């Protein structure tokens, strides 16, 4: 519990800091108007005309009577803040970051009020975060690179409130470009996950410039492979091995799980595709009597589960599963979880966009392990040339 003495000390310290800040800001303002009168307008008959006071909220406290100088002709405008600005831009940034972190607009409003004593309604907070929507529009329309070695696709569900609360899909696309850099290419919110919507997502990526793709990595959603091949007919398809294992796992008896999965692992960790197929034949002979449907499912999907063997060895670990995009989805779920449900699609878009921006900035200029290798780059370049011709 804070004692009276501790509170008094805290108030004294805060007052001292804001007083020092006020002095420094007013010094800058005096220098600004001096420069305005003597350098920017030396031939104009103009002079100082006292000052006016205003409140100004800073991250160190509120200055209640900041003295802002005036000139007689009213041409002076400080560059420290806009004419009607009453607080530093950091507060808007802080509000956006709190919102991104999973706080509701009501929780953010209460926090700001407790911190500064100023009342901010949830509507005001929503209006501040609304400035992000224009950024989202521009970001979703930005041009993409021409070539992507890999495009990962995955969806997640968020609870959105329309007339009622219901789960709706978020379609997320991630790519690895020629430099080996991984980035979020786009996201699309609304409706139930379907191959038709994924087709629209892929068409959008292609229209924005991503015309040459080597490999698509995604789970076994019905119709998704066909949609991908329709938009990118020259690209390969890699069905996520991890997803396939997860869907098989519940169907295996507890007593057999360890051995069954160990035998499967030998298939997707083999030296090459030929060895993998030979290992699978042994796996099939051992388990098809006990689990005929499960083994047949693997056998039918084996060509797209082993596609990664066509690619350089150093990048196979990065492309046999869509775990990279799943980790991104996990972060989004973590941000959305405290909110229970979102008021509309825009609320979801704001959070997902801010998370995507953070992700892209974190990975900007960082090549994924294996993709920066000289031999790997040369092999991928040959694959691009064989399918799409020499790069223009």
The closest of 144, 134, 118 to 62, measured between CA atoms, is: 118
Question: DSSP 3-state assignment of 225?
Answer: helix
Residues 161, 162, 168, 172, CA torsion sign: negative
Which secondary structure element, helix H or strand E, spans residue 359, and what is its range?
helix 345-363
Measured distance between the N- and C-terminal CA atoms of the chain, rounded to whole angstroms:
69
Is residue 81 predicted with pLDDT exceeding 70?
Answer: no
Percent of the chain exceeding pLDDT 90 equals 44
Is residue 63 predicted with pLDDT exceeding 90?
Answer: no
- Cα R_g (the chain), whole angstroms: 29
Give CA 136 to chain center in angstroms. 11
Q: How many CB atoms lie within 10 A of CB 386?
A: 9
Q: Hey, which of 62-71, 72-81, 245-254, 320-329 has the most confident mean pLDDT?
A: 245-254
Domain boundaries, the chain: 1-88, 90-130, 145-388
Listed in sequence order, the residues at least 6 apart from 48 whose beta carbon sits closer than 8 Å to its beta carbon are 33, 37, 69, 70, 71, 72
The closest of 199, 224, 209 to 175, measured between CA atoms, is: 209
Q: Hey, which of 32-41, 90-99, 100-109, 358-367 has the most confident mean pLDDT?
A: 358-367
Q: Which of the four pLDDT bands, split at 50, 70 and 90, describes residue 128?
A: low
Q: Which of 66-70, 243-247, 266-270 has the lowest mean pLDDT?
A: 66-70
Q: Which of 19-23, 54-58, 128-132 has the lowest mean pLDDT?
A: 128-132
pLDDT, tens only, 142-168: 999 999 999 999 988 877 777 777 788
Q: Which of the four pLDDT bands, split at 50, 70 and 90, describes residue 86?
A: very low
Q: Which of 25-29, 94-98, 157-161, 353-357 has the lowest mean pLDDT?
A: 94-98
**Mean pLDDT, residues 290-295:** 95
Burial code (b: 16+ CB inside 10 Å, e: under 16) for 81-103 equals beeeeebbeebeebbbebbbeeb
Question: DSSP 3-state assignment of 60?
Answer: coil
Is residue 269 predicted with pLDDT exceeding 90?
Answer: yes
Asked if residue 181 lies in contact with residue 364, where contact means CB atoms within 8 angstroms, the answer is yes
pLDDT, tens only, 172-185: 999 999 999 999 99
pLDDT given for residue 388 in this prediction:
95
Q: Which of the four pLDDT bands, split at 50, 70 and 90, describes residue 312?
A: very high
State the Cα angle at 327 between 188 and 214, rounded to 5°.
Answer: 70
Is residue 108 predicted with pLDDT exceeding 60?
Answer: yes
pLDDT given for residue 167 in this prediction:
82
Largest CA distance in the chain: 100
pLDDT given for residue 51 in this prediction:
84
Is residue 200 predicted with pLDDT exceeding 80?
Answer: yes
């Amino acid at each position: 519990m804070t004692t009276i003495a501790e509170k008094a000390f805290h108030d004294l310290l805060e007052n001292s800091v804001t007083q020092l800040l006020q002095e420094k800001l007013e010094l800058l303002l005096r220098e600004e108007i001096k420069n305005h009168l003597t350098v920017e307008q030396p031939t104009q008959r103009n002079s100082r005309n006292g000052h006016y006071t205003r409140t100004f909220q800073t991250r160190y406290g509120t200055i209640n009577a900041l003295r802002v100088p005036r000139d007689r002709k009213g041409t002076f405008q400080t560059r420290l803040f806009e004419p009607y600005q009453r607080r530093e831009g950091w507060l808007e940034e802080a509000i956006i970051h709190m919102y991104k972190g999973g706080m509701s607009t009501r929780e953010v409003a209460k926090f700001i009020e407790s911190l500064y004593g100023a009342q901010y309604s949830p509507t005001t907070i929503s209006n501040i975060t609304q400035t992000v929507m224009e950024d989202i529009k521009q970001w979703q329309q930005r041009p993409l690179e021409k070539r992507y070695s890999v495009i990962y696709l995955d969806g997640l569900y968020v609870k959105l409130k329309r007339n009622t609360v219901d789960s709706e899909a978020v379609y997320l696309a991630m790519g690895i470009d020629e430099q080996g850099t991984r980035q979020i290419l786009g996201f699309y919110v609304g409706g139930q996950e379907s191959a038709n919507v994924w087709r629209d997502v892929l068409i959008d990526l292609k229209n924005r410039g991503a015309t040459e793709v080597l490999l698509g990595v995604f789970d076994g959603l019905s119709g998704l492979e066909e949609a991908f091949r329709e938009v990118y007919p020259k690209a390969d398809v890699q069905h996520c091995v991890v997803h396939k294992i997860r869907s098989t796992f519940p169907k295996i008896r507890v007593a057999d799980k360890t051995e069954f999965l160990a035998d499967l692992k030998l298939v997707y960790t083999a030296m090459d595709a030929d060895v993998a197929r030979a290992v699978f034949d042994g796996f099939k002979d051992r388990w098809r009597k006990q689990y005929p449907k499960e083994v047949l499912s693997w056998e039918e999907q084996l060509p797209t589960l082993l596609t990664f063997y066509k690619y350089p060895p150093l990048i196979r670990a990065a492309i046999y599963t869509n775990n990279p995009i799943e980790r991104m989805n996990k972060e989004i779920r973590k941000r959305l979880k405290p909110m229970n449900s979102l008021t509309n699609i825009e609320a979801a878009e704001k959070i997902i966009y801010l998370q995507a921006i953070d992700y892209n900035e974190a990975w900007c200029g960082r090549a994924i392990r294996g993709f920066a290798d000289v031999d790997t780059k040369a092999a991928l370049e040959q694959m691009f040339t064989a399918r799409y011709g020499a790069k223009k």
